[in-house]
């Protein structure tokens, strides 16, 4: 099962793709929702708002700990920003240009759905893990 951080962003779009390829998923709205998923999606939208909502719902420390312990995480736009910020998750050592992400989001979405999704999550979706 894959958790989708469901505070803001393209939540339904990610759930739709998962459903289309037969992957069970659930919304992550609080700490209890973090029990069970073998991967996490942080949808794109506005990173500052998502971070504030995670803090408000007491999710930020729990998600940060899971990511740092190795939870497979797929992030788009705001999620990538959060992964790369030292004051956020600080696990992705890259410089992120938000405008570059926004300009290419349509093309990236097609590439992801068609090729990258199965490569990234297939190892975690076999057998009893789904």
Q: How far apart are alpha carbons 38 and 70 in whole angstroms?
A: 10
Per residue in 20-37, pLDDT (tens digit) is 999 999 999 999 999 999
Q: Do residues 91 and 116 touch, judged by C-beta distance below 8 A?
A: no
Domain regions of the chain by residue span? 2-129
For domain 2-129, the CATH architecture is: 3-Layer(aba) Sandwich (3.40)
Per residue in 62-84, pLDDT (tens digit) is 988 898 888 888 877 666 667 66
């Amino acid at each position: 099962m894959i958790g989708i951080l469901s505070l803001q962003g393209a939540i339904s779009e990610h759930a739709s793709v998962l459903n289309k390829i037969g992957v069970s998923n659930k919304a992550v709205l609080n700490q209890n929702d973090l029990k069970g998923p073998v991967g996490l999606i942080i949808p794109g939208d506005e990173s500052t708002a998502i971070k504030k909502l995670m803090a408000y719902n007491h999710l930020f420390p729990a998600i940060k700990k899971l990511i740092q312990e190795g939870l497979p995480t797929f992030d788009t736009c705001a999620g990538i920003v959060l992964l790369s910020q030292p004051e956020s998750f600080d696990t992705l050592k890259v410089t992120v240009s938000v405008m570059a992400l926004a300009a290419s989001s349509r093309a990236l979405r097609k590439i992801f759905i068609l090729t990258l999704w199965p490569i990234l999550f297939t190892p975690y979706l076999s057998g009893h893990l789904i």
